[in-house]
Amino acid sequence: MLLIGLTGSIATGKSTVSSLLSSPPYSLPIIDADVLAREVVEPGTKGYRAIVAHFGPSVLVPASDTMPEAGPTGKGRPLNRPALGRQVFGDEPTARKNRAVLNGIVHPAVRRAMFFAAARAYFAGHRAVVLDVPLLFEGRLDRFCGTVMVVAVRDPKVQMQRLRARDEHLTEEDAENRVKSQGDVRVKAARCQARGGRGRGVVVWNDHGREELAMEVQRAMSEIEAASPSWWSLALLLCPPAAVVIGTWNFWQNVRTNRYWAKREERERAKL
């Protein structure tokens, strides 16, 4: 089974691409890290208790007549995501530290949930599954993917305009902090392309409308399917030992690519 790592940055159109991939003619199962990230911090979960223990009750929806102390589930008030976001988004040392703590709570739980979801897709006979992960590279989940698809924009102004149009409550500073927290999407695109050809890394450019985006997705999927045709996916499904060998080889290739990218970044920083 081919694992397609889908990533991008906020307001670049990743969710739209995910929707296109889940619909005909592709009809691929989607494992959405954002959905899983919400599930693993629902009131009563281990993740929820860890977040409240670190950040305190200020990151919970305020108690009121309609929101009792125990919350609608009886396991606690839900997280107040805007309040939590104000503590973790931004470049200040405190925000970076809080973001690292939050990621340390959420990411391991999401990885476990993704593993079980991918295993279910494999045993259900799917030839490919999409791992929709905003921080695919940062979480090093790209190592497990046969191919990576990055949804990007060439003009950063397009990204800011879309974000503020979508989330009208955000100030310009809030929007900039959220964009910066997920890194420069053009760097992600370059890193994707560094994985090499043969469908291992494809960039979907989304600077225009939905029709142009659909054409970009079609182009990207044609490239991926040419590198991993249906008969190859079926052969690996019917021969699990071969799938393990191929998966191990791809993992090693991805590790080598990441080492190359890390050295490249070190050289770029040394020039500054």
Together in a domain, 15 and 145: yes
What token pair was written down for 148? 């990576």
Place of tokens 């670190």: 54
State pLDDT tens for residues 157-202. Answer: 888 888 888 887 778 888 888 887 777 899 999 999 988 777 899 9
CATH number at residue 252: 3.40.50.300
Based on the fold, state whether residues 4 and 136 are members of the same structural domain. yes
Q: Judge whether 272 lies within some domain.
A: no
Give the dihedral of Cα atoms 247, 253, 254, 259; nearest 10 deg: 150
- What 3-state DSSP class applies to 49? helix
Residues 109 and 145 in one domain: no
Sheet holding 201-205, edge to edge: 30-32, 128-132, 2-7, 147-152, 201-205
Residues 217 and 114 in one domain: no
How does residue 272 score in pLDDT terms, banded at 50, 70 and 90? low
Residue 92 resides in a domain: yes
145 in a structural domain? yes
Whether 165 and 176 map to the same domain: the answer is: yes
Paired with 7 in beta bridges are 150
| Average confidence (pLDDT) over 21-49 | 93
Q: Containing domain of residue 114, as a range?
A: 36-125
Q: Which of 66, 90, 125 is the last residue of a domain?
A: 125
Residue 184 is assigned to a structural domain of this protein: yes
